[in-house]
A = this chain, B = another copy of it.
Amino acid sequence: MSKIITLGEIMLRLSTEGNARFVQANHFCIVPGGGEANVAVSLSNYGHEACFVSKLPKHEIGQIAVNALRSYGVDTQYIVRGGDRVGLYYAETGASMRPSKVIYDRAHSAIAEATPNEFDFDAIMKGAQWFHWSGITPALSDNAAQMVKRACEAARRNGVTVSVDLNFRKKLWTSEKAISVMRPLMQYVDVCIGNEEDAQLCLGFKPDADVEGGRTDAEGYHRIFELMAREFGFKYVVSTLRESYSATHNGWKALIYNGKEFYESRRYDINPIIDRVGGGDSFAAGLIHGLLTKPTQGEALEFAVAASALKHTVYGDFNLMSADEVESLVQGNASGRVQR
Contact = CB atoms under 8 A, between A and B. Distances in A.
A20 interface: yes
A335 B19 contact: no
Interface stretch (A244-252, A255-263, A296-304): A244-252
B314 A244 contact: no
A112 B329 CA distance: 35
Contact of A23 (B60, B170, B334, B335): B60
Interface stretch (A1-9, A68-76, A125-133, A153-161): A68-76
A94 B313 contact: yes
A339 B102 contact: yes
A14 B29 contact: no
A61 B90 CA distance: 8
B339 A99 contact: yes
A84 B320 CA distance: 22
| Contact residues of A: prevailing secondary structure | loop
A68 B70 contact: no
Contacts of A105: 61, 84-86, 88
A103 B59 contact: yes
A95 interface: yes
A295 interface: no
A12 to B, nearest CB: 9
Contacts of A14: 14, 28
B273 A320 contact: no
Integer count of this chain's copies in the complex: 6
Nearest to A247: B336
A305 to B, nearest CB: 11
A150 interface: no
Contacts of A184: none
Contacts of A28: 14, 27-28, 30
Contacts of A99: 333, 335-339
B25 A95 contact: no
Interface in A165-187: 169-171
Given A14-B28, A272-B272, A339 B19 contact: no
A26 B23 contact: no
Given A14-B28, A170-B340, 13 more contacts: A21-B314, A23-B64, A25-B64, A61-B105, A67-B71, A70-B71, A94-B313, A96-B270, A98-B310, A213-B335, A245-B335, A247-B313, A247-B337
15 contacts: A19-B274, A22-B61, A25-B64, A26-B30, A27-B27, A60-B92, A61-B105, A67-B71, A70-B71, A70-B72, A94-B336, A98-B336, A169-B340, A249-B271, A276-B338
